[in-house]
């Protein structure tokens, strides 16, 4: 087997009219150029009809391929046009097996770009590694991510999470629609749109409708207590139960607790100096010495200690497995806090009453936005590493690439490896 046959097998030319005609290896220029050709009299499938047709003429094309060691590799070929006749589609250029139409890269090269970007590398890092302009690489990413996202199966989606992510510094946000982890399906981003209002939720619903998922199919939507998101869910997913994440409920109470601490710190600096994380951390995460110090604070007469007890009680109630008992305890908690003289915590109790159905829905379903927050962390990491994105389209492409669990119809550019268990 000679080198032409080896390269022909590597390019997948077996069983096609194509063969390797010439190999030019320039050591000083660090380039490898492979010229492909086809035998005289060859016929090719017409791109419109699929019928075999004779060659009408040909035109020169070239594609960037994966590097051969440290050498830049390019493929050259005269791509034929075939004539299918008036009834057979007319004259059209054939599709080559190593590249998609209108691309300057081979499929293996494009697969390499997608895989590197999906692994966590920024667009600038990938472009430097493969030796191509970043904009050419972005063109490849936009094409394959859009195609894979359009082919993503969402037909079985019944539970959604709605969250926002900042696009850049300031009040510039995106709304991220995701699906929590379920049996056989990891958590994934389904749709991203600009803004964080009711209209953004409406666009998310329209996306699902276009993909064959009616609004009536959605049973639960997990979200924070944002008024805009609540309005959007009521308008778009009218049959779905709104589930308020327990972490947001406890977080609201913790923010009120911190406000109490700040208010009292001026009057009681010795008692409350350096106590912020002592009261905001979960009791289980404190050391024995810190737990004793917190117990002493909570037994005192300061409103900070009393508010801390109230937050701890709320956290325990939301962990109660018995639904009816949890509802009774939550109603008792609202009455207890409502009768206290702590205005910050009384406001929390009023908010719990106002969002009662959504909190009870959490107690029934135990659905949280934990998966959405994890996806949000991945998205923020991508944004920080890339130093932001020039437009929403670029940011959306990267979000889908790293957080939507997309499947790409591309060849594997690197050999798969495995470890042997002993």
How many structural domains are present in the chain? 3
**In Å, how far are 103, 382, 386 from 121, measured between CA atoms?**
23, 9, 9
How does pLDDT run across 61-96, given as a tens digit for each residue? 999 999 888 899 999 999 999 988 877 778 999 999
**57 and 170 housed in the same domain:** no
Residue 153: inside a domain, yes or no? no
Distance CA 72, CA 129 (A): 12
Dihedrals φ, ψ of 23, to 5°?
A: -130, 120
**59 and 164 housed in the same domain:** no
At residue 169, the pLDDT reads: 66
Residue 254 has pLDDT above 50, yes or no: yes
**348 and 376 housed in the same domain:** no
Kindly state the average pLDDT of the residues 32-52.
Answer: 91
Residue 167: inside a domain, yes or no? yes
**114 and 44 housed in the same domain:** yes
Distance CA 72, CA 76 (A): 13
**238 and 373 housed in the same domain:** yes
Q: Give the domain extent around 309.
A: 250-365
Residue 412: inside a domain, yes or no? no
User: Which residue stretches of 152-268 are H helix?
Assistant: 198-210, 227-236, 246-265
**138 and 173 housed in the same domain:** no
**67 and 26 housed in the same domain:** yes
Residue 57 has pLDDT above 50, yes or no: yes
**7 and 135 housed in the same domain:** yes
What's the chain's average pLDDT?
90
Provide long-range contacts, Cβ within 8 A and 24+ apart, for 143-146: 144/110, 144/114, 144/408, 144/410, 145/114, 145/397, 145/400, 145/401, 145/406, 146/397
* Assigned token pair, 24: 């030019």
180-184, 286-290, 294-298, 378-382: segment of lowest average pLDDT: 180-184
Residue 164: inside a domain, yes or no? yes
Whole-angstrom distance between the N-terminal and C-terminal Cα of the chain?
Answer: 38
At residue 422, the pLDDT reads: 44
How does pLDDT run across 209-235, given as a tens digit for each residue? 999 999 999 999 999 888 999 999 999
Residue 154: inside a domain, yes or no? no
Kindly state the average pLDDT of the residues 119-143.
Answer: 91
At residue 421, the pLDDT reads: 44
Residue 143 has pLDDT above 80, yes or no: yes
**103 and 167 housed in the same domain:** no
How far is C-alpha 399 from the geometric centre of its chain's CA atoms? 4
At residue 171, the pLDDT reads: 63
Residue 422: inside a domain, yes or no? no
**120 and 202 housed in the same domain:** no
**255 and 361 housed in the same domain:** yes
Residue 152: inside a domain, yes or no? no
């Amino acid at each position: 087997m000679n080198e032409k046959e080896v390269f022909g097998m590597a390019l997948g030319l077996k069983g096609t009219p194509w063969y390797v005609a010439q190999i030019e290896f320039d050591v000083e220029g660090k380039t490898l150029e492979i010229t492909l050709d086809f035998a005289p009299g060859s016929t090719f499938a017409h791109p419109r009809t699929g019928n075999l047709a004779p060659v009408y003429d040909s035109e020169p094309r070239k594609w960037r391929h994966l590097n051969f060691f440290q050498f830049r590799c390019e493929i050259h070929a005269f791509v034929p046009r075939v004539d299918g006749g008036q009834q057979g589609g007319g004259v059209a250029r054939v599709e080559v097996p190593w590249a998609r139409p209108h691309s300057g890269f081979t499929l293996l090269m494009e697969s390499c770009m997608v895989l590197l970007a999906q692994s966590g590398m920024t667009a600038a890092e990938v472009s430097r590694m493969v030796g191509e302009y970043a904009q050419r690489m972005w063109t490849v990413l936009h094409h394959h991510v859009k195609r894979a996202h359009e082919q993503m199966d969402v037909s079985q989606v019944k539970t959604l999470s709605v969250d926002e992510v900042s696009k850049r510094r300031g009040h510039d946000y995106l709304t991220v629609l995701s699906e929590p982890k379920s049996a056989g399906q990891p958590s994934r981003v389904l749709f991203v749109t600009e803004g964080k209002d009711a209209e953004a939720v409406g666009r998310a619903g329209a996306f699902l409708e276009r993909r064959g998922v009616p609004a009536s199919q959605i049973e639960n939507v997990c979200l924070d207590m944002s008024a805009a998101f609540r309005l959007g869910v009521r308008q778009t997913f009218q049959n779905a139960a709104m589930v308020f994440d327990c972490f947001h409920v406890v977080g609201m109470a913790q923010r009120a607790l911190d406000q109490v601490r700040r208010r009292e710190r001026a009057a009681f600096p010795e008692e409350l100096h350096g106590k912020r994380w002592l009261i905001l951390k979960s009791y289980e995460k404190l050391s024995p010495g810190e737990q004793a110090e917190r117990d002493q604070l909570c037994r005192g007469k300061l409103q900070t200690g009393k508010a801390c007890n109230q937050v701890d009680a709320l956290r325990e109630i939301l962990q109660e497995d018995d639904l009816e008992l949890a509802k009774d305890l939550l109603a008792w908690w609202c009455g207890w806090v409502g009768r206290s003289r702590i205005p910050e915590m009384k406001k929390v109790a009023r908010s719990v009453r106002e969002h009662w159905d959504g909190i009870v829905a959490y107690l029934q379903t135990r659905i949280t936005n934990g998966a959405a927050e994890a996806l949000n962390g991945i998205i923020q990491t991508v944004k920080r590493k890339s130093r932001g994105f020039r437009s929403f389209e670029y940011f959306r492409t990267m979000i889908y690439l790293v957080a939507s669990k997309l499947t790409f119809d591309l060849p594997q550019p690197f050999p798969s490896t495995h470890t042997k268990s002993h």
